[in-house]
Amino acid sequence: MPAIRPLHRALVAALGALLLAAATLLAGAGSAQAALPTPVSAATARTYLASISVAAESHDSTYDRALFPHWITIAGTCDTRETVLKRDGSGVVTASNCSATSGNWVSAYDNVTTTSASSFDIDHLVPLAEAWRSGAWAWSTDQRKALANDLTRPQLIAVSASSNRSKGDQDPAHWLPQTSYRCTYARAWVQVKYYYGLSVDSAEKSALSSILNGC
């Protein structure tokens, strides 16, 4: 018996570790990341911003949202909107067609909360119309589709419909989210514009510089 006890203790410890790991996995399966991909640091964003071309916006009259194919299929029956809703919520339950049937969402723009996925919008952080005016008018359809469905860069986020309507297609010189989220917002905005080679206008650059200098 004395020789068996250490082995017994080792087995119990190993089983406990396995149970703890399983519990952690199950807990993780019931919640979501609840955030868009983490943007670059403020220091990196300032470096990016310094290298982005400054130019007046153009081609506004030729913009058409249909030129940016969006909510494409990401995996199985899940499209971009459904994928972001699942990512940005907690305790999200989905139906067989991937639509969210329940969950909890918090809008980073204005701190509005909801348990109804249909009451939230998926915002293009850099609006499609803004991207068009900043250079996307010259892109191919595939390039515009990539921007409109980008889950890798911090370009898509689930937010309250009211904040999304308030923002519209405005840049940071004319609209900003709640104060606590502005640093993240500016870092994300600059990262997306830098990655896609889009320009900024002078007022936009000034607003972004002011925010980033305070991050």
Which residues does the chain have with pLDDT short of 70?
1-34
CA distances from 100 to 83, 104, 162, 175 (A): 9, 10, 20, 29
Paired sense of beta strands 113-114 and 120-124, if any: unpaired
* pLDDT for the residue 1: 37
The one-letter code for the residue type at 31 is S
In this prediction, residue 170 carries a pLDDT of: 98
Asked if 151 contacts 6 with a C-beta cutoff of 8 angstroms, the reply is no
**pLDDT score recorded for residue 35:** 82
Read off the pTM: 0.84
24-45 as b/e: b if 16+ CB within 10 A: eeeeeeeebeeebbebbebeeb
Dihedral sign computed on CA atoms, order 144, 149, 155, 158:
positive
pLDDT of residue 34: 57
Q: Is 116 helix (H, G, I), strand (E, B) or coil?
A: coil
